[in-house]
């Protein structure tokens, strides 16, 4: 279905999903008028880079996301958008050989570096965390393929590789991405490529050596190139270039992205922001849908499933939305005026094989990331020469850390509400693991408890999503669509951004971009 001329559209949520959708819809259909609602007084949603006065300094503390992965279609669209908005000089990257790209896992209260060289590989394999990994990998090509339609991440990985990989390594990675439990998360949804490799080749390791599959060109990027035709380059070249960089960051924090998009949208006569405005009613009549009693031709919701459920409780679509479980996170920002970190790198994650009384998920070394990032484009022109992306890693003269805790651990052991005590315990645990002193005398501490922030793609999620897509279409006759993390392509900022583009194309032109 595509919109009639001069249609009126409402967008619920001015996080990155709502902004991306609005930005692209307004470009594709300048005739359409768009109203963006948000209950908060600012745009950006979870993206929130807060400039905080600490003594004489002004320090940026990230209260949510802080880095984007390089190799993703959504990231390509983000970078192209930032270039169009004149933000070229604010785009930074971490190079793969940068010290800031070192990652660690917690192994019995000390940090073990994830291998990035022969020496670190040997050290890793000799550590208790590495025990059983080689045997698991050698066995995998001979393990019979399963015909299960879905199963948990742990069940899938244990079946194929044995216990060591999920227990000691990948449970930590899943803490870093979903703050989730590998016993509940779906292998089909969160390990798509591995899951499909087993189905197609019978083995994941054998599929790596199978040269028959040529990498296919992304349909999303081809579509974008066709419609937006960047001046002087192709997004396919940009995509290839970005694959060299594991992480992207932005000067002044990730809020640079939503703020620059919102600024561009505010200048457009057909876009209007209603901030500080909670949407508390969403209803459909014969050929319109109303938001807080104002009628629109289409509504794009980008709020999470549980909030959507509150708006459409009496519908079957709402009933499906209520089945998506989301976890809570305690995020603790720490700032110390001296460099006290004995480790260099991005940070560490905690595997499920570690005893974990406070539900610590991981610690990010923000100061290391800040010192390790270099501008993506040097000079006045946009060029895709990776040799030109250069800069020196200078040791930080301060320490900035973010502790993440909670996630699925707070589902299993319901959190009793004493956030101060939990914060203290997490800081003490992290300090011990890092071998440093962190106390109120030397450390600026800020804590944020973020409720229901990350939807969990648990076993059965794919069929839930299919049912949701069908039901919303049927019940709301194409007048309501859903973006965001709960029923999207993934939970990262690039996933949400790419999905905003796809949703805008579908509504503006009536054309679906196939995966």
Ligand X SMILES: Cc1cc2nc3c(=O)[nH]c(=O)nc-3n(C[C@H](O)[C@H](O)[C@H](O)COP(=O)(O)OP(=O)(O)OC[C@H]3O[C@@H](n4cnc5c(N)ncnc54)[C@H](O)[C@@H]3O)c2cc1C
**How many Cβ atoms sit within 10 Å of the Cβ of residue 456?**
24
Closest approach, Cβ 285 to ligand X, in A, equals: 20
Q: Does 278 engage in binding with ligand X (CB under 6 A)?
A: yes
Task: Note whether 1 and 13 are within 8 A (CB).
Answer: no
| CA distances in angstroms from 36 to 78, 308, 328, listed in the order given | 20, 16, 26
Q: Does 73 engage in binding with ligand X (CB under 6 A)?
A: no
Q: Does 299 engage in binding with ligand X (CB under 6 A)?
A: no
Instruction: Convert residues 332-351 into a mask of x (bound to ligand X by CB under 6 A) and - (unbound).
Output: --------------------
Task: Note whether 178 and 490 are within 8 A (CB).
Answer: no
Among 2, 7, 28, 39, binds ligand X (CB under 6 A): 39
Closest CB to ligand X among residues 46, 233 = 46
Among 10, 11, 17, 333, binds ligand X (CB under 6 A): 17
Which strands sit side by side in the sheet containing 289-291, from one edge to the other?
Answer: 282-284, 289-291, 294-296
Task: Note whether 190 and 209 are within 8 A (CB).
Answer: no
Helix or strand or coil: residue 137? Answer: helix
Q: Does 279 engage in binding with ligand X (CB under 6 A)?
A: yes
Q: Does 493 engage in binding with ligand X (CB under 6 A)?
A: yes
Among 8, 29, 66, 371, binds ligand X (CB under 6 A): 66
Q: Does 306 engage in binding with ligand X (CB under 6 A)?
A: no
Closest CB to ligand X among residues 8, 274 = 274
The rounded Cα 197 to chain-centroid distance in angstroms is 24
Q: Does 64 engage in binding with ligand X (CB under 6 A)?
A: yes
Q: Does 408 engage in binding with ligand X (CB under 6 A)?
A: no
Among 16, 221, 330, 403, binds ligand X (CB under 6 A): 16
Q: Does 484 engage in binding with ligand X (CB under 6 A)?
A: yes
- Helix, strand, coil percentages (3-state) for the chain, rounded to 5, are 40, 20, 40
Closest CB to ligand X among residues 112, 453 = 453
Among 9, 21, 32, 45, binds ligand X (CB under 6 A): 45
Torsion of CA 272, 251, 79, 40, to 10 degrees: -30
CA count, 13 A, side-chain hemisphere, 148: 16
Rounded to whole angstroms, the Cα distance separating 21 from 65 reads: 19
Among 121, 143, 450, 513, binds ligand X (CB under 6 A): 450
* Residue ranges in 225-264 that form contacts with ligand X under rule CB under 6 A: none
Rounded to whole angstroms, the Cα distance separating 214 from 392 reads: 37
Residues in contact with ligand X by CB under 6 A are 12-18, 37-40, 45-47, 64-68, 278-279, 302-303, 307, 329, 331, 450, 453-454, 484-485, 491-494, 496
């Amino acid at each position: 279905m595509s919109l009639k001329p001069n249609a009126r559209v409402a967008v619920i949520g001015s996080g990155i999903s709502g902004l991306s959708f609005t930005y692209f819809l307004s470009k594709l259909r300048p005739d359409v008028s768009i109203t963006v609602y948000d209950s908060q007084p600012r745009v950006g949603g979870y993206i929130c880079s807060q400039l905080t006065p600490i003594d004489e300094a002004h320090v940026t503390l990230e209260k949510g996301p802080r880095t984007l992965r390089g190799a993703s279609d959504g990231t390509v669209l983000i970078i192209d958008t930032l270039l169009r908005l004149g933000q070229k000089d604010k785009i930074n990257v971490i190079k793969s050989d940068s010290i800031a790209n070192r990652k660690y896992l917690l192994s019995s209260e000390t940090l073990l570096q994830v291998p990035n060289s022969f020496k670190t590989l040997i050290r890793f394999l000799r550590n208790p965390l590495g025990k059983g990994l080689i045997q698991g990998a050698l066995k995998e090509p001979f393990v019979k393929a399963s015909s299960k339609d879905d199963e948990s991440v742990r069940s899938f990985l244990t079946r194929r590789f044995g216990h060591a990989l999920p227990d000691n390594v990948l449970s930590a990675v899943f803490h870093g991405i979903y703050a989730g439990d590998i016993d509940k998360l779906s292998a089909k949804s969160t390990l798509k490529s591995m899951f499909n490799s087993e189905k197609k080749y019978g083995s994941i390791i054998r599929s790596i050596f199978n040269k028959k599959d040529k990498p296919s060109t992304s349909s999303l990027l081809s579509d974008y190139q066709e419609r937006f035709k960047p001046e002087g380059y192709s997004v396919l070249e940009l995509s290839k270039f970005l694959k060299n960089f594991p992480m992207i960051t932005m000067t002044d924090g990730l809020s640079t992205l939503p703020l620059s998009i919102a600024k561009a949208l505010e200048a457009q006569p057909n876009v209007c922001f209603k901030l500080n405005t909670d949407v508390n009613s969403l209803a459909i009549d014969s050929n319109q849908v109303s938001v807080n009693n104002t009628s629109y031709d289409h509504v794009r919701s980008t709020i999470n499933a549980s909030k959507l459920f509150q708006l459409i409780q009496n519908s079957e679509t709402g009933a499906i939305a209520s089945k998506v479980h989301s976890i809570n996170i305690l995020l603790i920002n720490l700032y110390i005026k001296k460099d006290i970190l004995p480790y260099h790198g991005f940070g560490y994650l905690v595997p499920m094989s570690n005893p974990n009384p406070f539900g610590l998920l991981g610690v990010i070394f923000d100061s290391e990331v800040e010192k390790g990032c270099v501008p993506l484009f040097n000079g006045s022109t946009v060029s895709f020469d990776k040799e030109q992306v250069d800069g020196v890693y200078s040791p930080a003269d301060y320490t900035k850390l973010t502790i993440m805790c909670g996630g699925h651990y707070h589902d299993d052991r319901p959190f009793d509400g004493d956030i101060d005590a939990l914060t203290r315990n997490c800081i003490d645990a992290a300090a011990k693991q890092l071998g440093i002193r962190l106390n109120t005398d030397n450390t600026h501490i800020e804590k944020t408890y973020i409720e229901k922030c990350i939807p969990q793609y648990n076993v059965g999620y794919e069929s839930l999503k299919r049912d949701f897509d069908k039901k919303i279409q049927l019940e709301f006759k194409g007048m309501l669509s859903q973006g965001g993390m709960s029923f999207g392509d993934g939970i990262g900022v690039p996933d949400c951004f790419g999905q905003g583009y796809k949703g805008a194309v579908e509504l503006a032109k009536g054309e679906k971009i196939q995966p």
